[in-house]
Structure 1
């Protein structure tokens, strides 16, 4: 194509397109610049960043005495258990107790058929009455013989005979009285009485049952109050136990299964030898058991209170965490930010942990530290009360949802 002056126009169009592209780019830059200045004119503020606040419960580090407890598994054992058996072969005439009754020593339990023994007792009682009468007559004869020999009416042999009759009947009366005692014992054997205070088990006989001394027990009586708990501890604890016992009664606390109930007794027995196979020593603790909470054969946990750690630093055990460098706690600063403080744990007992590395009065995170990181902002959640055993008081400050920082 040619222009009016006859020149070619083929290269004009590409040049025009390139100029238009540059114009669009310049316009875009201008628009962005205007937007930037417009935003600054709107207020000049930078965007805010919301930092989350972690809700935790906190505790105050305290100093207090902490008893050291040695823990073991124990079994309740009756101090006395008596299998009641008859001392003679006979037939049960009456049962005077019920299964599970609480009985006292000397209380009548069973009556046997005593008719034969009672008849024998009456027989020997009659015999002694006869022999006593014969003895009285012999003594009178002896007295008359002595009078007659003084008057020389009888010989000395008559006196000797009278004296011999008195001596013989005196011995016979003594034998009769011994027979009465034996017969009375036989009669008493028909009255079976409790030998100890305790609780009866299952009754194995009924009226009419034939019983023998070598047969099965009629009933078993188990002493319930007082009662013992048997347990073992490693031999390495023996020296500490002996030292504690030398200083006074050693308290042993028993926990009853899942009920949470406890019973407090005193260490009453340390065995005289260590079991060489297990490396343990057997012990017993004595308990009053008026309410019958402890039952023979029960399996429970016991804690022996030995020495006492004096004025040590205490925190709740859940406040102590484990990291790559060891144990630590999260300390809450005045700015409500947490920092990790390394600690050394010396002893853990129940709801308290004895630590070194943190000062008394310091606030530490007790619960809610799972997702914390050093520098996190925290708010202390309110709690209903304090942990009395650990001596830790909870802060009741309200929790804040979030905070803003520039």
Structure 2
């Protein structure tokens, strides 16, 4: 009977004979490494410290937030209708003026002369008209006695018509001259606040020049233009039926209560490029808290939700499937739960679905959490 080594050599099994005992002695390194790794369902060692808040039901205002731009209620660029030397400026830059207040005076001398000339022409033609009418009356008496021919009578009547037309033309010229004279004195067309004076005393002013003499902005009242997403339009229109929509504005750095106003205008078209619709609100602005050109936060008040479920806004995170929170269960483990956030009012988020009142949600430390992780609740700062 041949030996084991002779049999292995003849059948070419000698390498397997050597490898078999070695593997049995040394073991498999890859299997040993896998044995030390925790399974996918294993929980992390230790508890993650977190702070929590309780979901509560509150009375929350229903509000649309936007960013707006303050604009004057009315703006007038004051220009001269006549030309001449600017003789007088009757206000200072930045003054508040009232409608009808004298602002500028253009040299009126040439326009006074034109008025006097027009008045003289009118007086002359009126006298000629009266004389022509008297002539017609005399001719009518003489015509009865056959002392005046029909041709002379007709000529006298024609003279009356000519002089009457001249009088009408003179009255029109006189009216135009008086308007030009009045335009030499420029009064404020609206009440408001004046800006920088563009043309100073002594300069020659052109009629209807490109540069205005001054710009007046009406800032009491004042208006704010802003836009809201088209998704909120139906809600706004529903609330606006039958009563006025209240609007407030917040100026950066301002102290005290926010200025209150009313919604006055909803545009007739949604901007397809931005998906928003433009609105305009009017504010009394008695304290001058709003100033043209400012950017302000705008709050459109649509009522109040008296039973809204709220949590701090920083508890709500956003993932691929939408909004979610980490809920702390009674066994001090967390559950990642999808929620529907209806809106955010300040630092509070209003939850529509996915959460119940009195449940605890994690406020910070969410980056270290997954489903089933144990947590240690720290006191809120």
Does the alignment reach a TM-score above 0.5? yes
The Cα of 1:96 is off from its aligned counterpart by: 0.8
Question: Which of 72, 77, 89 is equivalent to 1:78?
Answer: 72
Write out aligned runs for 1:257-406 (5 A): 257-260=252-255, 261-306=257-302, 308-313=304-309, 326-328=325-327, 346=341, 347-350=343-346, 352-354=348-350, 356-358=355-357
Cα deviation digits, residues 20-57 of structure 1 (max 9, x gap): xxxxxxxxxxxxxxxxxxxxxxxxxxxxxxxxxxxx9x
The reply on whether 1:196 has 2:190 as its aligned counterpart is yes
Root mean square deviation of aligned Cα: 3.6
Question: Which of 231, 235, 246 is equivalent to 1:236?
Answer: 231
The Cα of 1:102 is off from its aligned counterpart by: 1.3
Q: Give, in whole Å, the separation in 1 of the partners of 2:150 and 2:316.
A: 113
The Cα of 1:109 is off from its aligned counterpart by: 1.0
Task: Tell me which residue corresponds to 2:369.
Answer: none
The reply on whether 1:205 has 2:199 as its aligned counterpart is yes
Q: Give, in whole Å, the separation in 1 of the partners of 2:192 and 2:89.
A: 17
**Normalised by the size of structure 2, how large is the TM-score?**
0.70
TM-aligned CA distance change 1:304 to 1:263, over 3 Å: same
Aligned length in residues: 310
**Normalised by the size of structure 1, how large is the TM-score?**
0.66
Question: Which of 192, 202, 217 is equivalent to 1:222?
Answer: 217
Indicate the structure (1 or 2) with the bigger Cα radius of gyration: 1
- Structure 1 residue runs of 5 or longer lacking an equivalent are 1-55, 332-337, 382-406
The Cα of 1:327 is off from its aligned counterpart by: 4.2
The Cα of 1:226 is off from its aligned counterpart by: 1.7
**SS state of the match for residue 259, structure 2?**
strand
Alpha carbons 1:329, 1:342 under 8 Å: kept: no
- Structure 2 residue runs of 5 or longer lacking an equivalent are 1-50, 318-323, 366-373
Q: Give, in whole Å, the separation in 2 of the partners of 1:233 and 1:368.
A: 31
Alpha carbons 1:269, 1:285 under 8 Å: kept: yes
Alpha carbons 1:342, 1:357 under 8 Å: kept: no
Task: Tell me which residue corresponds to 1:154.
Answer: 148
